[in-house]
Amino acid sequence: MKDKIVLITGATSGIGEGCARKFASQGANLILNGRNIQKLDALKADLENRFGVRILLLPFDVRDREAATTAIASLSGKWADIDILVNNAGLVIGVDKEFEGNLDEWDIVIDTNVKGLLAMTRLVVPGMVKRGRGHIINIGSIAGDAAYPGGSVYCATKAAVKALSDGLRIDLVDTPLRVTNIKPGMVETNFTVVRYRGDKERADEFYKGIRPLTGDDIAETVYFAASVPEHIQIAEVLVMPTHQATGTISYKKID
């Protein structure tokens, strides 16, 4: 992985930050995207100091297509030769029933999880095709396998990530490029705080009685998919805590 260029969206927390730390620890140079420039600056300084890699920051919201286009077009030299794209940026807001939810919040979720991923794919993958190498890793979810109460719109977006991953893999079948869809189950990150609209206590309660996965756990899975020999394509990985069986069935031991 040494000297490869890895672009990670949503890199300022959770799975994205875990991926940044994992790839940097293995010698990859990183292009980190996120909305919070202060967090990006801090992460860049930490990773460059600890691992001696090079970090380029692209602070923009993946929902902003013009900003994304400008940012990718600004890449020059080695930075333009992206080897791995990790489409990680994503979120869910609320646990409302489908007939009671907030349309504006749903716009944010759909624009980030689906349209943002599509925009980054459209902007980055043509260069990979031209160079004859590349790997697209999309962060999907167990939620994309089946709907659950209070999550229909989010589940729909992650079902879309699966369809887009499968479709891209078909479109690239005559190239050396690889496409992977990573589908995490319960992962304890700031993602859940956002789901509960900033209610940290409610988010913590969600994980009570079970040891959930961490962003670093998912980063290990992402790195594994990226590091296998080039003739191997890890198409899809469903990864859950030991005590989770499906999106809605888990065992929580309450003392």
**How many Cβ atoms from other residues are within 10 Å of residue 244's Cβ?**
20
Tokens of 10: 């949503």
Q: Is 41 in a helix, a strand, or coil?
A: helix
Helix 14-25 / helix 215-227 crossing angle, nearest 10 deg: 50
CA 84 – CA 113 distance, rounded (Å) = 19
Q: Is 35 in a helix, a strand, or coil?
A: coil
For the sheet with 178-184, list strands across it.
Answer: 55-59, 29-34, 5-8, 84-87, 135-139, 178-184, 236-239
| 223 is annotated as an active-site residue | no
Tokens of 121: 């794919």
**How many Cβ atoms from other residues are within 10 Å of residue 235's Cβ?**
12
> Residue 186's Cα: distance from chain center in Å?
14
The one catalytic residue among 154, 196, 223, 251: 154
Residues annotated as part of the active site: 154
